[in-house]
Chain A
Amino acid sequence: MAKQYETVIGLEVHVELATKTKIFCSCSTSFGGAPNTHTCPVCTGMPGSLPVLNKQVVEYAIAIGLATNCEITRVCKFDRKNYFYPDNPQNYQISQLYLPIARNGYVEIETGDTKKKVRIHEMHMEEDAGKLVHDEWDDTSIVDYNRSGVPLVEIVSEPDMRSADEVLAYLEKLRMIIQYLGASDCKLQEGSMRADVNLSVREMGSGKFGTRTEMKNLNSFKAIARAIEGERQRQIELLEEGRAVVQETRRWDDNKEYSYAMRSKEDAQDYRYFPEPDLVPVMIDEAWIEKIKMMQPELRDEKLARYKKEYEIPEYDARIITESKHMADIFEKAAAICKNPKKVSNWLMVETLRLLKESGMEPEEIRFSPENLAKLVKLTDSGDINSSVAKQVFVKMFEENTDPESYVKEHGLRTVNDEGELRAVLEQVIADNPQAAADYKSGKEKALGALVGQTMKIMRGKANPGQVNQRLKELLG
Protein backbone atom coordinates (compact mmCIF):
# COMPACT_ATOMS: atom_id res chain seq x y z
CA MET A 1 0.00 0.00 0.00
CA ALA A 2 1.24 3.47 -0.86
CA LYS A 3 2.42 5.62 2.00
CA GLN A 4 0.07 8.31 3.28
CA TYR A 5 1.49 11.79 3.67
CA GLU A 6 0.43 14.78 5.72
CA THR A 7 1.14 18.37 4.65
CA VAL A 8 2.33 20.79 7.33
CA ILE A 9 1.99 24.49 6.54
CA GLY A 10 2.92 27.72 8.28
CA LEU A 11 2.36 31.18 6.83
CA GLU A 12 4.18 34.50 6.83
CA VAL A 13 1.65 37.16 5.94
CA HIS A 14 2.69 40.72 5.09
CA VAL A 15 0.03 43.40 5.38
CA GLU A 16 0.48 47.01 4.22
CA LEU A 17 -1.04 49.32 6.81
CA ALA A 18 -3.55 52.00 5.81
CA THR A 19 -1.58 54.97 7.14
CA LYS A 20 -1.41 58.22 5.20
CA THR A 21 2.36 58.46 5.58
CA LYS A 22 5.30 56.08 5.57
CA ILE A 23 6.57 54.37 8.70
CA PHE A 24 9.64 56.56 9.31
CA CYS A 25 9.06 59.74 7.27
CA SER A 26 6.15 61.98 6.29
CA CYS A 27 6.07 60.97 2.62
CA SER A 28 2.67 59.95 1.26
CA THR A 29 1.80 56.25 0.93
CA SER A 30 -0.84 56.81 -1.75
CA PHE A 31 -0.83 54.25 -4.52
CA GLY A 32 -0.07 54.98 -8.15
CA GLY A 33 1.99 58.21 -8.01
CA ALA A 34 4.58 58.82 -10.76
CA PRO A 35 7.82 56.93 -9.93
CA ASN A 36 9.91 58.35 -7.05
CA THR A 37 7.57 61.28 -6.36
CA HIS A 38 6.86 60.04 -2.80
CA THR A 39 10.45 59.95 -1.67
CA CYS A 40 12.78 61.85 0.66
CA PRO A 41 16.27 61.36 2.16
CA VAL A 42 14.86 59.03 4.87
CA CYS A 43 13.07 56.50 2.65
CA THR A 44 15.89 56.48 0.10
CA GLY A 45 18.53 55.79 2.74
CA MET A 46 20.58 58.97 2.40
CA PRO A 47 23.50 59.16 4.85
CA GLY A 48 22.73 61.27 7.89
CA SER A 49 18.94 61.07 7.62
CA LEU A 50 17.02 60.05 10.74
CA PRO A 51 13.90 57.88 10.87
CA VAL A 52 11.05 58.92 13.21
CA LEU A 53 8.34 56.34 13.96
CA ASN A 54 4.75 56.97 12.82
CA LYS A 55 2.54 56.59 15.91
CA GLN A 56 -0.40 55.31 13.85
CA VAL A 57 1.67 52.30 12.75
CA VAL A 58 2.13 51.26 16.39
CA GLU A 59 -1.58 51.74 17.08
CA TYR A 60 -2.68 49.66 14.07
CA ALA A 61 -0.18 46.95 15.05
CA ILE A 62 -1.48 46.87 18.65
CA ALA A 63 -5.08 46.72 17.36
CA ILE A 64 -4.27 43.76 15.08
CA GLY A 65 -2.33 42.07 17.89
CA LEU A 66 -5.27 42.40 20.28
CA ALA A 67 -7.79 41.18 17.69
CA THR A 68 -5.66 38.08 17.07
CA ASN A 69 -5.38 37.28 20.78
CA CYS A 70 -1.67 38.15 21.02
CA GLU A 71 0.31 39.33 24.00
CA ILE A 72 1.51 42.88 23.37
CA THR A 73 5.23 43.36 24.05
CA ARG A 74 5.58 46.17 26.60
CA VAL A 75 9.13 47.13 25.62
CA CYS A 76 9.57 46.71 21.92
CA LYS A 77 12.49 47.65 19.67
CA PHE A 78 13.54 47.76 16.06
CA ASP A 79 16.44 45.89 14.45
CA ARG A 80 18.32 46.16 11.18
CA LYS A 81 18.11 43.30 8.73
CA ASN A 82 21.04 43.61 6.34
CA TYR A 83 20.88 42.65 2.69
CA PHE A 84 21.91 44.13 -0.63
CA TYR A 85 19.35 44.46 -3.36
CA PRO A 86 18.38 47.41 -5.57
CA ASP A 87 14.89 47.65 -4.02
CA ASN A 88 16.49 48.41 -0.65
CA PRO A 89 18.34 51.75 -0.79
CA GLN A 90 19.60 51.67 2.82
CA ASN A 91 21.15 48.20 2.35
CA TYR A 92 19.17 47.21 5.41
CA GLN A 93 15.50 46.91 6.22
CA ILE A 94 14.28 48.27 9.55
CA SER A 95 12.35 45.40 11.10
CA GLN A 96 11.89 43.70 14.49
CA LEU A 97 13.63 40.44 15.41
CA TYR A 98 14.31 40.34 19.15
CA LEU A 99 11.31 42.19 20.60
CA PRO A 100 8.43 42.13 18.09
CA ILE A 101 5.30 44.06 19.03
CA ALA A 102 2.99 41.03 19.49
CA ARG A 103 3.49 37.36 20.33
CA ASN A 104 1.66 34.12 21.15
CA GLY A 105 -1.76 34.72 19.61
CA TYR A 106 -4.25 32.67 17.64
CA VAL A 107 -7.26 32.94 15.36
CA GLU A 108 -10.06 30.43 15.04
CA ILE A 109 -10.79 29.11 11.56
CA GLU A 110 -13.66 27.04 10.17
CA THR A 111 -13.42 24.55 7.32
CA GLY A 112 -16.62 22.66 6.66
CA ASP A 113 -17.99 21.82 10.09
CA THR A 114 -14.62 21.76 11.82
CA LYS A 115 -13.32 24.58 13.96
CA LYS A 116 -9.63 24.89 14.71
CA LYS A 117 -7.15 27.30 16.22
CA VAL A 118 -4.20 28.49 14.20
CA ARG A 119 -1.57 29.86 16.54
CA ILE A 120 0.32 33.05 15.77
CA HIS A 121 3.97 32.89 16.71
CA GLU A 122 4.65 36.60 16.45
CA MET A 123 3.84 39.80 14.58
CA HIS A 124 6.33 42.56 13.87
CA MET A 125 6.42 46.01 12.28
CA GLU A 126 8.74 46.74 9.36
CA GLU A 127 9.17 48.84 6.24
CA ASP A 128 8.36 47.80 2.70
CA ALA A 129 10.94 47.85 -0.11
CA GLY A 130 10.85 49.72 -3.42
CA LYS A 131 9.37 48.31 -6.61
CA LEU A 132 11.37 46.87 -9.49
CA VAL A 133 10.03 46.97 -13.02
CA HIS A 134 11.89 44.74 -15.43
CA ASP A 135 12.50 45.78 -19.00
CA GLU A 136 12.15 42.82 -21.31
CA TRP A 137 14.22 44.38 -24.07
CA ASP A 138 17.35 46.06 -22.76
CA ASP A 139 18.33 43.87 -19.79
CA THR A 140 17.71 46.56 -17.19
CA SER A 141 15.39 47.02 -14.23
CA ILE A 142 13.87 50.31 -13.16
CA VAL A 143 13.56 51.12 -9.47
CA ASP A 144 10.71 53.17 -8.00
CA TYR A 145 11.09 53.98 -4.29
CA ASN A 146 7.51 55.22 -3.73
CA ARG A 147 6.76 52.03 -1.81
CA SER A 148 10.04 52.09 0.11
CA GLY A 149 9.16 52.79 3.74
CA VAL A 150 5.46 52.00 3.49
CA PRO A 151 4.54 50.39 6.84
CA LEU A 152 3.98 46.64 7.02
CA VAL A 153 3.17 44.15 9.71
CA GLU A 154 4.36 40.60 9.19
CA ILE A 155 2.24 37.96 10.90
CA VAL A 156 4.04 34.66 11.41
CA SER A 157 1.87 31.63 12.16
CA GLU A 158 2.88 28.36 13.80
CA PRO A 159 2.96 25.34 11.42
CA ASP A 160 -0.65 24.52 12.34
CA MET A 161 -2.31 24.19 8.93
CA ARG A 162 -2.72 20.86 7.11
CA SER A 163 -4.41 21.71 3.80
CA ALA A 164 -4.94 24.44 1.22
CA ASP A 165 -8.50 24.86 2.58
CA GLU A 166 -7.20 25.62 6.05
CA VAL A 167 -4.68 28.09 4.63
CA LEU A 168 -7.40 29.93 2.70
CA ALA A 169 -9.68 29.97 5.77
CA TYR A 170 -6.83 31.43 7.84
CA LEU A 171 -6.08 34.13 5.24
CA GLU A 172 -9.78 35.02 4.95
CA LYS A 173 -9.98 35.29 8.72
CA LEU A 174 -6.97 37.61 8.91
CA ARG A 175 -8.28 39.68 6.02
CA MET A 176 -11.65 40.19 7.67
CA ILE A 177 -10.18 41.06 11.06
CA ILE A 178 -7.77 43.59 9.59
CA GLN A 179 -10.32 45.14 7.21
CA TYR A 180 -12.81 45.50 10.05
CA LEU A 181 -10.15 47.26 12.11
CA GLY A 182 -9.57 49.59 9.16
CA ALA A 183 -5.85 48.80 9.46
CA SER A 184 -5.47 47.74 5.80
CA ASP A 185 -7.54 47.08 2.71
CA CYS A 186 -5.83 43.65 2.37
CA LYS A 187 -5.92 43.33 -1.41
CA LEU A 188 -3.92 40.32 -2.55
CA GLN A 189 -3.89 41.35 -6.20
CA GLU A 190 -2.57 44.83 -5.42
CA GLY A 191 -0.01 43.49 -2.99
CA SER A 192 -1.37 45.10 0.19
CA MET A 193 -1.63 41.54 1.57
CA ARG A 194 1.03 38.99 0.63
CA ALA A 195 1.62 35.48 1.85
CA ASP A 196 4.73 33.28 1.88
CA VAL A 197 4.01 29.59 2.39
CA ASN A 198 6.30 27.36 4.47
CA LEU A 199 5.48 23.78 3.62
CA SER A 200 6.78 20.32 4.50
CA VAL A 201 5.37 16.81 4.22
CA ARG A 202 5.71 13.89 6.58
CA GLU A 203 4.44 10.36 6.77
CA MET A 204 1.02 10.22 8.38
CA GLY A 205 1.35 9.66 12.09
CA SER A 206 4.96 10.82 12.30
CA GLY A 207 5.68 13.12 15.22
CA LYS A 208 8.59 14.85 13.49
CA PHE A 209 8.38 17.64 10.93
CA GLY A 210 9.92 17.10 7.51
CA THR A 211 12.31 19.59 5.88
CA ARG A 212 10.37 22.66 4.74
CA THR A 213 10.61 24.99 1.80
CA GLU A 214 9.43 28.58 1.62
CA MET A 215 7.40 29.69 -1.39
CA LYS A 216 7.10 33.30 -2.51
CA ASN A 217 5.31 35.18 -5.28
CA LEU A 218 1.76 34.10 -4.44
CA ASN A 219 -0.69 36.84 -5.34
CA SER A 220 -4.13 35.29 -5.41
CA PHE A 221 -6.05 32.76 -3.34
CA LYS A 222 -6.13 30.45 -6.37
CA ALA A 223 -2.36 30.69 -6.83
CA ILE A 224 -1.86 29.84 -3.15
CA ALA A 225 -4.07 26.74 -3.42
CA ARG A 226 -2.31 25.58 -6.60
CA ALA A 227 1.15 26.26 -5.14
CA ILE A 228 0.37 24.19 -2.05
CA GLU A 229 -0.80 21.23 -4.15
CA GLY A 230 2.18 21.56 -6.54
CA GLU A 231 4.78 21.79 -3.79
CA ARG A 232 3.20 18.95 -1.82
CA GLN A 233 3.45 16.71 -4.90
CA ARG A 234 7.03 17.73 -5.60
CA GLN A 235 8.16 16.94 -2.05
CA ILE A 236 6.31 13.59 -1.95
CA GLU A 237 7.90 12.58 -5.26
CA LEU A 238 11.37 13.39 -3.88
CA LEU A 239 10.74 11.30 -0.76
CA GLU A 240 9.28 8.39 -2.75
CA GLU A 241 12.44 8.37 -4.87
CA GLY A 242 14.47 8.20 -1.66
CA ARG A 243 15.83 11.74 -2.12
CA ALA A 244 15.91 14.54 0.42
CA VAL A 245 13.95 17.80 0.41
CA VAL A 246 16.36 20.74 0.47
CA GLN A 247 15.53 23.66 2.77
CA GLU A 248 15.34 26.60 0.38
CA THR A 249 13.28 29.51 -0.88
CA ARG A 250 11.31 28.79 -4.04
CA ARG A 251 9.47 31.05 -6.43
CA TRP A 252 6.04 29.87 -7.58
CA ASP A 253 5.36 30.27 -11.28
CA ASP A 254 1.57 30.20 -11.53
CA ASN A 255 1.58 29.89 -15.34
CA LYS A 256 3.78 26.82 -15.32
CA GLU A 257 2.28 25.59 -12.03
CA TYR A 258 5.74 24.78 -10.70
CA SER A 259 8.10 26.29 -8.12
CA TYR A 260 11.76 27.08 -8.80
CA ALA A 261 14.63 27.42 -6.32
CA MET A 262 15.29 31.15 -5.94
CA ARG A 263 18.62 31.58 -4.27
CA SER A 264 22.01 30.14 -5.02
CA LYS A 265 25.16 30.01 -2.92
CA GLU A 266 26.04 33.48 -4.16
CA ASP A 267 22.99 34.84 -2.30
CA ALA A 268 23.73 33.31 1.11
CA GLN A 269 20.98 34.26 3.55
CA ASP A 270 22.63 35.84 6.55
CA TYR A 271 20.92 39.03 7.60
CA ARG A 272 23.31 39.92 10.47
CA TYR A 273 20.53 41.51 12.49
CA PHE A 274 21.52 44.09 15.09
CA PRO A 275 19.59 46.65 17.15
CA GLU A 276 18.56 49.76 15.17
CA PRO A 277 20.54 52.58 16.77
CA ASP A 278 18.54 55.41 15.14
CA LEU A 279 15.22 54.50 16.79
CA VAL A 280 14.49 54.56 20.50
CA PRO A 281 12.51 51.78 22.22
CA VAL A 282 8.71 51.83 22.17
CA MET A 283 7.20 51.44 25.65
CA ILE A 284 3.58 50.32 25.59
CA ASP A 285 1.75 50.72 28.88
CA GLU A 286 -1.61 49.38 30.10
CA ALA A 287 -3.33 52.74 29.55
CA TRP A 288 -2.36 52.83 25.88
CA ILE A 289 -3.53 49.25 25.31
CA GLU A 290 -6.81 49.98 27.11
CA LYS A 291 -7.39 53.05 24.95
CA ILE A 292 -6.94 51.01 21.78
CA LYS A 293 -9.20 48.25 23.15
CA MET A 294 -11.91 50.84 23.75
CA MET A 295 -11.68 52.05 20.16
CA GLN A 296 -11.76 48.52 18.73
CA PRO A 297 -14.81 48.22 16.43
CA GLU A 298 -17.23 45.30 16.53
CA LEU A 299 -15.45 42.46 14.69
CA ARG A 300 -16.97 40.03 12.25
CA ASP A 301 -17.81 37.15 14.60
CA GLU A 302 -19.67 39.47 16.99
CA LYS A 303 -21.47 41.16 14.13
CA LEU A 304 -22.56 37.81 12.73
CA ALA A 305 -24.11 36.76 16.04
CA ARG A 306 -25.85 40.12 16.47
CA TYR A 307 -27.32 40.13 12.94
CA LYS A 308 -29.01 36.79 13.47
CA LYS A 309 -30.48 37.93 16.77
CA GLU A 310 -31.24 41.58 16.14
CA TYR A 311 -32.38 41.48 12.52
CA GLU A 312 -33.55 37.87 12.37
CA ILE A 313 -31.90 37.24 9.02
CA PRO A 314 -30.71 33.72 8.10
CA GLU A 315 -27.19 32.63 9.04
CA TYR A 316 -26.20 32.24 5.39
CA ASP A 317 -27.26 35.81 4.51
CA ALA A 318 -25.62 37.24 7.61
CA ARG A 319 -22.37 35.50 6.66
CA ILE A 320 -22.32 36.87 3.13
CA ILE A 321 -23.17 40.40 4.24
CA THR A 322 -20.58 40.50 7.05
CA GLU A 323 -17.83 39.06 4.85
CA SER A 324 -17.22 42.62 3.73
CA LYS A 325 -17.11 45.43 6.26
CA HIS A 326 -18.28 47.85 3.60
CA MET A 327 -21.37 45.76 2.80
CA ALA A 328 -22.14 45.30 6.50
CA ASP A 329 -21.96 49.08 7.00
CA ILE A 330 -24.37 49.66 4.10
CA PHE A 331 -26.74 47.03 5.50
CA GLU A 332 -26.83 48.49 9.01
CA LYS A 333 -27.26 52.10 7.93
CA ALA A 334 -29.94 51.32 5.34
CA ALA A 335 -31.83 49.07 7.77
CA ALA A 336 -31.77 51.79 10.42
CA ILE A 337 -33.25 54.34 7.99
CA CYS A 338 -36.00 52.27 6.34
CA LYS A 339 -36.68 49.91 9.28
CA ASN A 340 -36.94 46.93 6.94
CA PRO A 341 -33.77 44.83 7.41
CA LYS A 342 -35.23 41.83 5.52
CA LYS A 343 -35.78 43.85 2.34
CA VAL A 344 -32.36 45.52 2.62
CA SER A 345 -30.76 42.13 3.05
CA ASN A 346 -32.65 40.84 -0.02
CA TRP A 347 -31.39 43.65 -2.21
CA LEU A 348 -27.82 42.92 -1.09
CA MET A 349 -28.09 39.14 -1.36
CA VAL A 350 -29.81 38.96 -4.74
CA GLU A 351 -29.43 41.98 -7.03
CA THR A 352 -26.21 43.37 -5.52
CA LEU A 353 -24.36 40.05 -5.61
CA ARG A 354 -25.60 39.39 -9.13
CA LEU A 355 -24.40 42.77 -10.45
CA LEU A 356 -21.07 42.50 -8.56
CA LYS A 357 -20.45 39.14 -10.17
CA GLU A 358 -21.43 40.37 -13.63
CA SER A 359 -19.08 43.34 -13.43
CA GLY A 360 -16.26 41.43 -11.73
CA MET A 361 -16.31 43.73 -8.70
CA GLU A 362 -15.58 43.10 -5.02
CA PRO A 363 -18.14 44.01 -2.33
CA GLU A 364 -15.68 46.66 -1.10
CA GLU A 365 -16.27 48.48 -4.40
CA ILE A 366 -20.02 48.97 -3.98
CA ARG A 367 -20.74 52.60 -4.88
CA PHE A 368 -24.35 53.18 -3.84
CA SER A 369 -25.04 54.80 -0.48
CA PRO A 370 -27.10 53.23 2.32
CA GLU A 371 -29.38 56.30 2.14
CA ASN A 372 -30.26 55.58 -1.47
CA LEU A 373 -30.83 51.87 -0.83
CA ALA A 374 -33.17 52.81 2.05
CA LYS A 375 -35.08 55.17 -0.27
CA LEU A 376 -35.56 52.38 -2.79
CA VAL A 377 -36.89 50.04 -0.10
CA LYS A 378 -39.31 52.73 1.06
CA LEU A 379 -40.55 53.30 -2.50
CA THR A 380 -41.40 49.61 -2.86
CA ASP A 381 -42.83 49.29 0.67
CA SER A 382 -45.28 52.13 0.03
CA GLY A 383 -46.30 50.63 -3.32
CA ASP A 384 -45.08 53.74 -5.14
CA ILE A 385 -43.17 51.56 -7.57
CA ASN A 386 -43.60 47.89 -8.40
CA SER A 387 -40.86 45.28 -8.29
CA SER A 388 -39.89 45.35 -11.95
CA VAL A 389 -39.50 49.13 -11.88
CA ALA A 390 -37.53 48.77 -8.62
CA LYS A 391 -35.06 46.42 -10.29
CA GLN A 392 -34.61 48.85 -13.14
CA VAL A 393 -33.99 51.71 -10.68
CA PHE A 394 -31.60 49.53 -8.69
CA VAL A 395 -29.37 48.88 -11.72
CA LYS A 396 -29.09 52.65 -12.22
CA MET A 397 -28.34 53.14 -8.52
CA PHE A 398 -25.74 50.35 -8.54
CA GLU A 399 -23.95 51.98 -11.47
CA GLU A 400 -24.04 55.62 -10.47
CA ASN A 401 -25.41 55.86 -6.92
CA THR A 402 -28.47 57.56 -8.45
CA ASP A 403 -31.07 58.89 -6.01
CA PRO A 404 -34.07 56.54 -6.55
CA GLU A 405 -36.68 59.18 -5.59
CA SER A 406 -35.56 61.74 -8.13
CA TYR A 407 -34.97 59.07 -10.77
CA VAL A 408 -38.50 57.70 -10.39
CA LYS A 409 -39.89 61.23 -10.54
CA GLU A 410 -37.88 62.32 -13.57
CA HIS A 411 -38.78 59.24 -15.57
CA GLY A 412 -42.42 59.08 -14.46
CA LEU A 413 -42.08 55.56 -13.08
CA ARG A 414 -44.46 55.89 -10.15
CA THR A 415 -47.18 53.23 -10.12
CA VAL A 416 -50.46 54.60 -11.38
CA ASN A 417 -52.97 54.44 -8.59
CA ASP A 418 -55.47 56.60 -10.39
CA GLU A 419 -58.56 54.37 -10.62
CA GLY A 420 -60.03 56.32 -13.54
CA GLU A 421 -56.93 56.14 -15.69
CA LEU A 422 -56.44 52.45 -15.01
CA ARG A 423 -60.08 51.64 -15.71
CA ALA A 424 -59.92 53.41 -19.08
CA VAL A 425 -56.88 51.39 -20.10
CA LEU A 426 -58.47 48.11 -18.93
CA GLU A 427 -61.65 48.74 -20.92
CA GLN A 428 -59.56 49.51 -23.98
CA VAL A 429 -57.56 46.28 -23.55
CA ILE A 430 -60.73 44.18 -23.21
CA ALA A 431 -62.22 45.83 -26.31
CA ASP A 432 -59.02 45.21 -28.32
CA ASN A 433 -58.78 41.55 -27.27
CA PRO A 434 -62.30 40.14 -27.51
CA GLN A 435 -61.06 36.57 -28.01
CA ALA A 436 -59.00 36.53 -24.78
CA ALA A 437 -61.86 38.14 -22.87
CA ALA A 438 -64.31 35.54 -24.16
CA ASP A 439 -61.91 32.68 -23.36
CA TYR A 440 -61.59 33.89 -19.77
CA LYS A 441 -65.34 34.21 -19.41
CA SER A 442 -65.76 30.62 -20.63
CA GLY A 443 -63.47 29.42 -17.84
CA LYS A 444 -59.97 29.58 -19.35
CA GLU A 445 -58.12 31.15 -16.38
CA LYS A 446 -54.92 31.36 -18.42
CA ALA A 447 -56.38 33.85 -20.84
CA LEU A 448 -56.28 36.52 -18.14
CA GLY A 449 -52.47 36.53 -18.30
CA ALA A 450 -52.48 37.88 -21.84
CA LEU A 451 -54.76 40.73 -20.81
CA VAL A 452 -52.60 41.61 -17.78
CA GLY A 453 -49.54 41.57 -20.03
CA GLN A 454 -51.18 43.91 -22.54
CA THR A 455 -52.21 46.29 -19.79
CA MET A 456 -48.73 46.40 -18.23
CA LYS A 457 -47.27 47.07 -21.68
CA ILE A 458 -49.54 50.03 -22.28
CA MET A 459 -48.89 51.35 -18.76
CA ARG A 460 -45.13 50.85 -19.36
CA GLY A 461 -44.77 48.89 -16.15
CA LYS A 462 -46.20 51.61 -13.96
CA ALA A 463 -49.25 49.63 -12.82
CA ASN A 464 -49.36 47.22 -9.95
CA PRO A 465 -49.81 43.76 -11.53
CA GLY A 466 -51.83 42.51 -8.54
CA GLN A 467 -54.20 45.41 -8.83
CA VAL A 468 -54.52 44.97 -12.62
CA ASN A 469 -55.37 41.32 -12.10
CA GLN A 470 -58.05 42.16 -9.54
CA ARG A 471 -59.70 44.88 -11.60
CA LEU A 472 -59.74 42.74 -14.75
CA LYS A 473 -61.50 39.94 -12.90
CA GLU A 474 -64.07 42.41 -11.62
CA LEU A 475 -64.70 43.83 -15.10
CA LEU A 476 -65.01 40.39 -16.72
CA GLY A 477 -66.85 38.83 -13.79
Chain B
Amino acid sequence: MANKISDETIEYVGILAKLWLSDEEKENARSDMEKMLDYIDTLNELDTTGTEPMSHVFPVNNVFREDIVENGDGSEDTLANAPLKKEQGFKVPKTIR
Protein backbone atom coordinates (compact mmCIF):
# COMPACT_ATOMS: atom_id res chain seq x y z
CA MET B 1 0.00 0.00 0.00
CA ALA B 2 2.01 2.90 -1.31
CA ASN B 3 -0.59 5.61 -0.84
CA LYS B 4 -2.37 6.75 2.27
CA ILE B 5 -5.27 9.10 1.89
CA SER B 6 -5.56 11.56 4.77
CA ASP B 7 -8.73 12.48 6.66
CA GLU B 8 -8.48 15.99 5.19
CA THR B 9 -8.49 14.65 1.65
CA ILE B 10 -11.60 12.56 2.23
CA GLU B 11 -13.30 15.57 3.82
CA TYR B 12 -12.29 17.82 0.90
CA VAL B 13 -13.39 15.40 -1.82
CA GLY B 14 -16.69 15.07 0.01
CA ILE B 15 -17.18 18.86 -0.06
CA LEU B 16 -16.31 19.05 -3.79
CA ALA B 17 -18.74 16.25 -4.60
CA LYS B 18 -21.37 17.84 -2.32
CA LEU B 19 -21.71 14.54 -0.42
CA TRP B 20 -22.35 14.15 3.29
CA LEU B 21 -20.57 10.97 4.35
CA SER B 22 -20.95 9.02 7.59
CA ASP B 23 -17.74 7.80 9.27
CA GLU B 24 -18.31 4.33 7.88
CA GLU B 25 -18.85 5.69 4.35
CA LYS B 26 -15.68 7.77 4.68
CA GLU B 27 -13.70 4.65 5.57
CA ASN B 28 -15.14 2.78 2.59
CA ALA B 29 -14.37 5.66 0.25
CA ARG B 30 -10.83 5.87 1.60
CA SER B 31 -10.25 2.18 0.98
CA ASP B 32 -11.70 2.40 -2.57
CA MET B 33 -9.56 5.38 -3.46
CA GLU B 34 -6.42 3.77 -2.09
CA LYS B 35 -7.08 0.72 -4.26
CA MET B 36 -7.36 2.97 -7.32
CA LEU B 37 -4.10 4.72 -6.53
CA ASP B 38 -2.36 1.39 -6.00
CA TYR B 39 -3.61 0.28 -9.41
CA ILE B 40 -2.23 3.44 -11.05
CA ASP B 41 1.05 2.85 -9.21
CA THR B 42 1.62 -0.13 -11.49
CA LEU B 43 2.71 2.50 -14.05
CA ASN B 44 5.64 3.43 -11.82
CA GLU B 45 7.02 -0.06 -12.29
CA LEU B 46 7.37 0.58 -16.04
CA ASP B 47 10.08 2.55 -17.78
CA THR B 48 8.25 5.44 -19.48
CA THR B 49 11.26 7.51 -20.52
CA GLY B 50 10.68 8.87 -24.01
CA THR B 51 6.94 8.15 -23.96
CA GLU B 52 4.85 11.21 -24.89
CA PRO B 53 1.84 11.97 -22.69
CA MET B 54 -1.40 11.30 -24.56
CA SER B 55 -5.07 11.89 -24.00
CA HIS B 56 -6.43 9.71 -26.82
CA VAL B 57 -5.67 6.15 -27.75
CA PHE B 58 -6.59 6.40 -31.43
CA PRO B 59 -4.73 8.56 -33.94
CA VAL B 60 -7.91 10.38 -35.00
CA ASN B 61 -8.40 14.13 -35.15
CA ASN B 62 -10.66 16.81 -36.63
CA VAL B 63 -14.00 15.09 -36.29
CA PHE B 64 -16.57 17.83 -36.98
CA ARG B 65 -20.26 18.45 -37.50
CA GLU B 66 -21.61 20.99 -39.97
CA ASP B 67 -23.63 23.82 -38.42
CA ILE B 68 -27.08 22.54 -39.40
CA VAL B 69 -30.06 22.22 -37.06
CA GLU B 70 -31.23 18.60 -37.03
CA ASN B 71 -32.81 18.21 -33.60
CA GLY B 72 -36.42 19.23 -33.04
CA ASP B 73 -38.30 19.87 -29.81
CA GLY B 74 -36.69 17.54 -27.27
CA SER B 75 -38.46 18.87 -24.21
CA GLU B 76 -40.70 15.84 -23.63
CA ASP B 77 -37.81 13.35 -23.50
CA THR B 78 -35.63 15.73 -21.53
CA LEU B 79 -38.30 16.47 -18.94
CA ALA B 80 -39.18 12.78 -18.61
CA ASN B 81 -36.04 12.62 -16.46
CA ALA B 82 -37.04 15.45 -14.16
CA PRO B 83 -37.85 14.35 -10.59
CA LEU B 84 -39.77 17.61 -10.16
CA LYS B 85 -41.14 19.86 -12.91
CA LYS B 86 -42.62 23.30 -13.13
CA GLU B 87 -43.55 25.37 -16.18
CA GLN B 88 -41.65 23.07 -18.59
CA GLY B 89 -38.53 23.39 -16.45
CA PHE B 90 -36.66 21.28 -13.90
CA LYS B 91 -37.65 22.35 -10.41
CA VAL B 92 -34.72 22.48 -7.97
CA PRO B 93 -34.12 23.97 -4.52
CA LYS B 94 -33.51 27.69 -4.78
CA THR B 95 -29.88 28.33 -5.73
CA ILE B 96 -29.50 31.87 -4.46
CA ARG B 97 -30.36 33.43 -1.17
**B-side interface residues toward A, CB under 8 Å?**
12, 15-18, 55-56, 58, 60-71, 73-75, 77-79, 81, 86-96
Q: Is the CB of A55 within 8 A of B15?
A: no
Q: Per-position contact with B for A175-217: 1 when CB-CB < 8 Å, else 0?
A: 0000000000000000000000000000000000000000000
Least CB distance from A362 to B in Å reads: 26
A98 to chain B minimum Cβ distance, whole angstroms, is: 9
Residue A438 CB within 8 A of the other chain: no
What total of A-B pairs shows CB separation below 8 Å?
139
> Interface majority SS on B: helix, strand, loop or mixed?
loop
Give the size range of A's interface with the partner: 35 or more
Instruction: Please determine whether A34 and B88 come into contact, CB atoms closer than 8 angstroms.
Output: yes
Q: List 20 A-B contacts (CB under 8 A).
A: A19-B67, A20-B67, A28-B71, A55-B65, A55-B67, A58-B64, A85-B95, A133-B89, A134-B94, A140-B86, A140-B91, A142-B90, A143-B90, A268-B12, A268-B15, A270-B12, A275-B55, A280-B56, A281-B61, A282-B62
Contacts of A35 in B (CB 8 A): 75, 87-89
Specify which chain B residues have a CB less than 8 angstroms from the CB of A266 in the assembled complex. 15
Q: Tell me which residues across on chain B come within 8 A of A144, comparing CB atoms.
A: 88-89
Do residues A268 and B16 form an inter-chain contact, with CB atoms below 8 A? yes
Instruction: Report the Cα distance A379→B73, complex, angstroms.
Output: 49
- Whether A37 contacts B75 by the Cβ 8 Å rule is yes
Q: Which residues of A contact B93 (CB under 8 A)?
A: 139-141
Whether A141 pairs with B92 at a CB distance below 8 angstroms is yes
User: B89 and A26: CB pair below 8 A?
Assistant: no
Interface residues of A (CB under 8 A from B): 19-21, 25-28, 34-41, 44, 46, 52-58, 77, 82, 84-86, 132-135, 139-145, 265-266, 268, 270, 272, 275-277, 279-283
Instruction: Report the Cα distance A41→B66, complex, angstroms.
Output: 19
* Nearest 8 A/B pairs, CB to CB: A275-B55, A142-B89, A55-B64, A26-B70, A56-B67, A143-B90, A35-B88, A36-B75
- Bound complex: CA A145 to CA B75 (Å): 9
Q: Whole-angstrom distance from the CB of A182 to the nearest CB of chain B?
A: 13
Query: In whole angstroms, how far apart are the Cα atoms of A84 and B19 in the complex?
Result: 11
A130 to chain B: closest residue by CB: B90
Given A26-B71, A37-B74, does the pair A52, B64 have CB atoms closer than 8 Å? yes
- The 8 Å CB contact of A52, one of B63, B73, B78, B92, is B63
